[in-house]
Amino acid sequence: MTKPFMFEKPLGMRDTLPELYETKAAVRNKMSDEIKKWGYQFIETPALEYYETIGEASAILDQQLFKLLDQQGHTLVLRPDMTTPIARVAASKLLNQRIPLRLAYSANVYRAQQREGGRPAEFEQMGIECIGNKSTSADAEMIALMADVLKAAGLEKFKITIGHIGFVQELFLSILGNEERAAVLRKFLYEKNYVGYREHVKSLTLSSIDKQRLIEFISLQGGENTLTKALGLLEGEHGREQLSELQELAVQLKEFGVDQYVSLDLTLVSHMSYYTGTLFEVYAGGVGSPIGNGGRYDNLLDKFGWDASATGFGIRMDRLVEAIGEIQEADVPECILFSPERRKEALDFAKQKRAEGIMVTIQDINAVENVDAYTRTFSDVHLFVGNGGRVSNE
């Protein structure tokens, strides 16, 4: 690579200037207030973790990890997600104190660009994890809380799509007989390649009834009768348990009063490979990628030595702010310009202003080259210069 220019940053790294900072901060506060109201406790974990622990346990592709070496030669990663570090903390410390455990986070995660620009490689996520809770009520709580958090953030229109990876797995295994063949078919879903899926099903050596079942599976999305149609595809007991979970979930979401935001899509498969049960994504118009996602991951904690089920979600702050679409104007402070002989007077005045909750900048007038240009950027200007009294430009 050629030597970078002084203004350049690594690919995918972005600065946040005052307007966007204020906007994000306002949204972040509203969201974390809501999350706390549901009894979740915020925690922080380090940005650097071991590659062999967090890096390997995380579902993020290896080529997307930022890796570096520490002094002893251990490979480290910049955390690519928050769910895995939280699983580590929970399993090694917090689960001793309370089960189920409800934790929240607001942190930057890092995923290297795969191809080109246009997507940040560092982005803020806010999310929650509910650990040691295998009930469907926990799944419903995730979705209801996510809807409430998005509403609190000021997002009015959004859509949560719910699927169940366990159901996909049961159905594919019962028809295809082994994991190898099921994995091939799942990959088509993961790649969103319906054309390839259909062609692959046609090429399989299966009875025409089984082929038809697999083809109809693709249309198990949207409409209210999705669950009924899904039941119609089952033979025997495989997949029935997962469907009744979804049925139960639908009832509970109605009780939570968030059913108008959700729809079912049984073909939904996530890039986060650790999901084991219900999973969901949330979309808003005008943003080309999901603004958040979540689901049940019952095997992840086991990697850290504690066999506990868990569920959670994460929201992408950059995409959410884009979806909300309003940029908050950064608050503009007032300015006190003083000359050295009246410094004390100016400082007292500034103290008084701040006590009233007003933002003030204090500035020695001798250090300003162009007073007009400088003062123009403030909402009000107070002069403590020379012998006269205080002068305001208002």
Contact range with other proteins by CB under 8 A, out of 42-50, 88-96, 166-174, 186-194: 186-194
Say whether residue 96 binds other proteins (CB under 8 A). Answer: no
**Residue length, the chain?**
394
Site for other proteins in 153-172 (CB under 8 A): 159, 161
Q: What is the CA radius of gyration of the chain?
A: 27
Output the smallest distance, CB 263 to other proteins, in A: 8
Say whether residue 226 binds other proteins (CB under 8 A). Answer: no
Quick check: 129 and 83 in contact, CB under 8 A?
yes
Question: Which residues have CB under 8 Å from 334's CB, separation 6+?
Answer: 353, 358, 359, 360, 361, 378, 379, 380, 381, 382
Output the smallest distance, CB 215 to other proteins, in A: 13
Give me the long-range contacts of 51-54 (CB less than 8 A, separation at least 24).
51/75, 51/76, 51/77, 53/88, 53/304, 54/79, 54/80, 54/84, 54/85, 54/88
Say whether residue 14 binds other proteins (CB under 8 A). Answer: no
Number of residues that bind other proteins (CB under 8 A): 22
289, 366, 377, 393: which one contacts other proteins (CB under 8 A)? 289
Q: Which is nearer to other proteins, 191 or 235 (CB)?
A: 191
118, 236, 305, 389: which one contacts other proteins (CB under 8 A)? 118
Phi, psi of 169 (to 5 degrees): -65, -50
Say whether residue 194 binds other proteins (CB under 8 A). Answer: yes
20, 196, 238, 380: which one contacts other proteins (CB under 8 A)? 196
Contact range with other proteins by CB under 8 A, out of 15-23, 98-106, 195-203, 350-358: 195-203
End-to-end alpha-carbon separation of the chain, Å? 54
DSSP-assigned letter for residue 303: G
Between 194-203 and 208-217, two packed helices, what is the crossing angle to 10 degrees?
Answer: 170
Residue 235 Cα to chain centre, angstroms: 37
Place of tokens 């959670």: 312
- Ligand-binding annotation for 111, yes or no, is yes
Say whether residue 264 binds other proteins (CB under 8 A). Answer: no
Say whether residue 283 binds other proteins (CB under 8 A). Answer: yes
Neighbours of 371 (CB within 10 A): 14
222, 257, 325, 340: which one contacts other proteins (CB under 8 A)? 222
Q: Which is nearer to other proteins, 265 or 302 (CB)?
A: 265
- Ligand-binding annotation for 15, yes or no, is no
Annotated binding site for L-histidine: 81-83, 111, 125, 129, 274-275
Annotated binding site: 81-83, 111, 125, 129, 274-275
Binding stretches for other proteins (CB under 8 A): 118, 159, 161, 191-196, 199, 222, 263, 265, 281, 283-290
